[in-house]
Chain A
Amino acid sequence: SQQGEEDPQALSIQEGENATMNCSYKTSINNLQWYRQNSGRGLVHLILIRSNEREKHSGRLRVTLDTSKKSSSLLITASRAADTASYFCAHKAAGNKLTFGGGTRVLVKP
Protein backbone atom coordinates (compact mmCIF):
# COMPACT_ATOMS: atom_id res chain seq x y z
CA SER A 1 0.00 0.00 0.00
CA GLN A 2 1.17 3.51 -0.74
CA GLN A 3 -0.71 4.92 2.24
CA GLY A 4 1.44 6.76 4.74
CA GLU A 5 1.63 5.74 8.34
CA GLU A 6 1.02 8.08 11.24
CA ASP A 7 1.81 7.68 14.88
CA PRO A 8 0.55 7.83 17.42
CA GLN A 9 -2.95 6.88 16.34
CA ALA A 10 -4.30 8.85 19.29
CA LEU A 11 -2.89 11.46 21.64
CA SER A 12 -4.34 13.00 24.77
CA ILE A 13 -2.76 16.07 26.35
CA GLN A 14 -3.58 18.93 28.69
CA GLU A 15 -4.22 22.41 27.38
CA GLY A 16 -0.96 24.32 27.13
CA GLU A 17 1.15 21.25 26.42
CA ASN A 18 2.78 20.52 23.09
CA ALA A 19 1.52 17.80 20.76
CA THR A 20 3.81 15.96 18.36
CA MET A 21 2.73 13.50 15.71
CA ASN A 22 4.75 11.71 13.06
CA CYS A 23 4.16 10.61 9.52
CA SER A 24 6.11 8.14 7.39
CA TYR A 25 5.75 7.42 3.70
CA LYS A 26 7.23 4.99 1.20
CA THR A 27 7.76 6.83 -2.07
CA SER A 28 9.80 9.83 -3.10
CA ILE A 29 7.76 13.02 -2.87
CA ASN A 30 7.58 16.56 -4.20
CA ASN A 31 5.97 17.83 -1.03
CA LEU A 32 4.06 16.72 2.02
CA GLN A 33 0.96 18.36 3.41
CA TRP A 34 -0.79 18.33 6.77
CA TYR A 35 -4.55 18.65 7.21
CA ARG A 36 -6.83 18.96 10.22
CA GLN A 37 -10.30 17.43 10.46
CA ASN A 38 -12.71 18.39 13.21
CA SER A 39 -15.31 15.81 14.11
CA GLY A 40 -17.98 15.52 11.43
CA ARG A 41 -16.36 18.15 9.23
CA GLY A 42 -14.18 18.29 6.12
CA LEU A 43 -10.40 18.54 6.03
CA VAL A 44 -8.67 21.89 6.37
CA HIS A 45 -5.24 22.43 4.89
CA LEU A 46 -2.67 23.47 7.50
CA ILE A 47 0.76 23.54 5.94
CA LEU A 48 2.72 22.32 2.91
CA ILE A 49 6.43 21.56 3.04
CA ARG A 50 8.40 20.97 -0.12
CA SER A 51 10.95 18.19 -0.51
CA ASN A 52 13.83 20.69 -0.49
CA GLU A 53 12.68 22.20 2.82
CA ARG A 54 13.55 20.80 6.23
CA GLU A 55 11.35 22.87 8.51
CA LYS A 56 8.37 25.17 8.19
CA HIS A 57 6.36 27.22 10.65
CA SER A 58 2.84 28.56 10.64
CA GLY A 59 1.65 30.18 13.84
CA ARG A 60 1.78 27.51 16.55
CA LEU A 61 2.51 24.80 14.01
CA ARG A 62 5.95 23.49 13.19
CA VAL A 63 6.52 20.87 10.52
CA THR A 64 9.77 19.06 9.82
CA LEU A 65 10.63 16.86 6.88
CA ASP A 66 13.41 14.29 6.62
CA THR A 67 13.43 12.91 3.10
CA SER A 68 16.28 10.52 3.89
CA LYS A 69 14.09 8.82 6.49
CA LYS A 70 10.88 9.43 4.52
CA SER A 71 9.27 10.98 7.55
CA SER A 72 7.68 14.20 8.74
CA SER A 73 6.50 15.53 12.07
CA LEU A 74 3.88 18.07 13.09
CA LEU A 75 4.31 19.92 16.36
CA ILE A 76 1.49 21.97 17.86
CA THR A 77 2.81 24.24 20.58
CA ALA A 78 0.80 25.57 23.53
CA SER A 79 -2.21 23.48 22.58
CA ARG A 80 -5.77 24.68 23.07
CA ALA A 81 -9.04 22.81 23.44
CA ALA A 82 -9.91 24.00 19.92
CA ASP A 83 -6.97 21.98 18.57
CA THR A 84 -8.91 18.80 19.35
CA ALA A 85 -9.21 17.12 15.95
CA SER A 86 -7.74 14.45 13.71
CA TYR A 87 -4.57 15.38 11.86
CA PHE A 88 -3.63 13.80 8.54
CA CYS A 89 -0.47 13.96 6.51
CA ALA A 90 -0.75 13.61 2.74
CA HIS A 91 1.75 13.09 -0.03
CA LYS A 92 1.87 12.38 -3.72
CA ALA A 93 2.04 8.63 -4.30
CA ALA A 94 1.77 6.29 -7.30
CA GLY A 95 -0.54 7.66 -9.98
CA ASN A 96 0.20 11.19 -8.87
CA LYS A 97 -2.74 11.40 -6.51
CA LEU A 98 -2.66 12.84 -3.01
CA THR A 99 -2.57 9.93 -0.56
CA PHE A 100 -3.51 10.44 3.06
CA GLY A 101 -2.07 8.76 6.11
CA GLY A 102 -4.26 7.08 8.70
CA GLY A 103 -4.39 10.16 10.91
CA THR A 104 -3.68 11.01 14.52
CA ARG A 105 -6.62 11.79 16.81
CA VAL A 106 -5.65 14.55 19.22
CA LEU A 107 -7.65 15.33 22.35
CA VAL A 108 -6.73 18.50 24.23
CA LYS A 109 -8.23 18.51 27.68
CA PRO A 110 -9.05 21.90 29.23
Chain B
Amino acid sequence: DAMVIQNPRYQVTQFGKPVTLSCSQTLNHNVMYWYQQKSSQAPKLLFHYYDKDFNNEADTPDNFQSRRPNTSFCFLDIRSPGLGDAAMYLCATSRDHATLWGDQPQHFGDGTRLSIL
Protein backbone atom coordinates (compact mmCIF):
# COMPACT_ATOMS: atom_id res chain seq x y z
CA ASP B 1 0.00 0.00 0.00
CA ALA B 2 1.17 3.50 -0.77
CA MET B 3 2.09 5.24 2.41
CA VAL B 4 4.20 7.62 4.45
CA ILE B 5 6.77 5.93 6.67
CA GLN B 6 8.67 7.56 9.49
CA ASN B 7 11.70 6.10 11.18
CA PRO B 8 12.36 5.59 13.94
CA ARG B 9 9.03 5.62 15.82
CA TYR B 10 10.84 6.57 19.02
CA GLN B 11 14.10 8.47 19.26
CA VAL B 12 16.03 9.38 22.38
CA THR B 13 18.89 11.82 22.20
CA GLN B 14 21.00 13.81 24.60
CA PHE B 15 20.68 17.52 25.17
CA GLY B 16 22.68 19.26 22.46
CA LYS B 17 23.43 16.10 20.44
CA PRO B 18 22.37 16.37 16.78
CA VAL B 19 19.59 14.08 15.68
CA THR B 20 18.04 13.22 12.32
CA LEU B 21 14.52 11.97 11.73
CA SER B 22 13.56 10.41 8.43
CA CYS B 23 10.46 10.18 6.31
CA SER B 24 9.82 8.25 3.13
CA GLN B 25 6.78 8.09 0.89
CA THR B 26 5.59 5.76 -1.84
CA LEU B 27 2.79 8.09 -2.93
CA ASN B 28 5.01 10.00 -5.39
CA HIS B 29 3.67 13.25 -3.98
CA ASN B 30 5.37 16.52 -4.79
CA VAL B 31 4.91 18.20 -1.42
CA MET B 32 6.34 17.00 1.88
CA TYR B 33 5.76 18.67 5.25
CA TRP B 34 7.25 18.46 8.72
CA TYR B 35 5.09 19.24 11.74
CA GLN B 36 5.92 19.42 15.42
CA GLN B 37 3.21 18.30 17.81
CA LYS B 38 3.50 18.68 21.56
CA SER B 39 1.28 16.82 23.97
CA SER B 40 -2.43 17.62 23.58
CA GLN B 41 -1.70 20.39 21.10
CA ALA B 42 -2.32 20.99 17.42
CA PRO B 43 0.37 20.05 14.90
CA LYS B 44 2.55 23.06 14.10
CA LEU B 45 4.04 23.35 10.62
CA LEU B 46 7.84 23.72 10.65
CA PHE B 47 8.54 23.74 6.90
CA HIS B 48 7.64 22.09 3.65
CA TYR B 49 9.16 21.16 0.32
CA TYR B 50 7.41 21.56 -2.98
CA ASP B 51 9.59 19.30 -5.08
CA LYS B 52 13.05 20.72 -4.33
CA ASP B 53 11.85 24.15 -3.23
CA PHE B 54 12.22 24.60 0.51
CA ASN B 55 9.76 26.78 2.42
CA ASN B 56 10.49 27.64 6.02
CA GLU B 57 7.87 28.93 8.42
CA ALA B 58 8.80 32.32 9.87
CA ASP B 59 8.73 31.10 13.46
CA THR B 60 10.66 27.85 12.95
CA PRO B 61 13.88 28.00 14.99
CA ASP B 62 17.19 27.94 13.13
CA ASN B 63 17.99 24.79 15.10
CA PHE B 64 15.69 22.90 12.73
CA GLN B 65 16.85 22.07 9.22
CA SER B 66 15.54 19.82 6.50
CA ARG B 67 16.83 17.96 3.47
CA ARG B 68 15.02 16.35 0.59
CA PRO B 69 17.52 14.41 -1.54
CA ASN B 70 14.84 12.97 -3.82
CA THR B 71 11.07 12.74 -4.23
CA SER B 72 10.71 9.84 -1.83
CA PHE B 73 12.76 10.94 1.17
CA CYS B 74 12.80 13.91 3.49
CA PHE B 75 14.87 14.41 6.64
CA LEU B 76 14.47 16.62 9.68
CA ASP B 77 17.75 17.60 11.33
CA ILE B 78 17.81 19.12 14.80
CA ARG B 79 21.27 20.54 15.26
CA SER B 80 21.33 21.06 19.02
CA PRO B 81 18.19 19.65 20.64
CA GLY B 82 16.96 21.37 23.75
CA LEU B 83 14.48 20.08 26.32
CA GLY B 84 11.76 22.14 24.64
CA ASP B 85 12.21 20.18 21.41
CA ALA B 86 10.81 16.99 22.95
CA ALA B 87 7.70 16.32 20.89
CA MET B 88 6.09 14.15 18.25
CA TYR B 89 7.38 15.00 14.78
CA LEU B 90 4.98 14.27 11.96
CA CYS B 91 5.77 14.01 8.28
CA ALA B 92 3.00 14.52 5.75
CA THR B 93 2.65 14.62 1.99
CA SER B 94 0.26 16.04 -0.54
CA ARG B 95 -0.03 15.42 -4.22
CA ASP B 96 0.73 18.87 -5.55
CA HIS B 97 1.12 22.51 -4.76
CA ALA B 98 -2.60 23.08 -4.81
CA THR B 99 -2.81 21.26 -1.52
CA LEU B 100 -0.87 24.03 0.14
CA TRP B 101 -4.00 26.01 -0.35
CA GLY B 102 -5.93 23.28 1.39
CA ASP B 103 -7.60 21.85 -1.69
CA GLN B 104 -6.63 18.26 -1.02
CA PRO B 105 -5.97 16.17 2.04
CA GLN B 106 -2.58 15.61 3.54
CA HIS B 107 -1.30 12.09 4.20
CA PHE B 108 0.53 11.62 7.47
CA GLY B 109 3.06 9.15 8.76
CA ASP B 110 2.74 7.77 12.29
CA GLY B 111 5.34 10.16 13.60
CA THR B 112 8.59 9.97 15.55
CA ARG B 113 8.38 10.68 19.25
CA LEU B 114 11.55 12.48 20.28
CA SER B 115 12.77 12.47 23.87
CA ILE B 116 15.65 14.58 25.13
CA LEU B 117 17.78 13.42 28.07
Q: Tell me the A residues contacting B by CB distance below 8 Å.
A: 3, 29-31, 33, 40-45, 48, 88, 90-92, 95-103, 105
Known A40-B113, A96-B100, A97-B100; contact A45-B42, beta-carbon cutoff 8 A? no
Tell whether, in the assembled complex, residue A42 and residue B109 are in contact, meaning their CB atoms are under 8 Å apart: yes
Q: Is B105's beta carbon under 8 Å from chain A?
A: yes
Q: Enumerate chain A residues within 8 angstroms of B90, measured Cβ to Cβ.
A: 42-43
Asked whether B45 is an interface residue with its Cβ less than 8 Å from the other chain, the reply is yes
- Distance to closest chain A CB from B70 (angstroms): 22
CA gap between A91 and B109 in the complex, in Å: 20
Q: Which residues of A contact B53 (CB under 8 A)?
A: none
Q: Which residues of B contact A88 (CB under 8 A)?
A: 42-43
In the complex, what residues of B have CB within 8 A of residue A99's CB? 42, 45
The answer on a CB contact under 8 Å between B111 and A92 is: no
Residues of B within 8 A of A (CB): 4, 6, 40-43, 45, 48, 57, 90, 92, 100-111, 113
Contacts of A97 in B (CB 8 A): 45, 48, 57, 100
Write 20 A-B pairs (CB below 8 A) sorted by A numbering: A29-B102, A31-B102, A40-B113, A41-B111, A42-B4, A42-B6, A42-B109, A42-B110, A43-B92, A44-B108, A48-B104, A97-B100, A98-B45, A98-B100, A99-B42, A100-B42, A100-B43, A103-B41, A103-B42, A105-B40
- A97 and B55 CA atoms in complex are apart in Å by 11
How long is the Cα–Cα vector from A61 to B106 in the complex, in angstroms?
A: 19
Q: A30-B101, A40-B110 are in contact. List 16 more A-B contacts (CB 8 A).
A: A29-B102, A42-B6, A42-B90, A42-B92, A43-B90, A45-B107, A88-B43, A92-B102, A96-B102, A97-B48, A97-B100, A98-B45, A98-B102, A99-B45, A103-B40, A103-B42
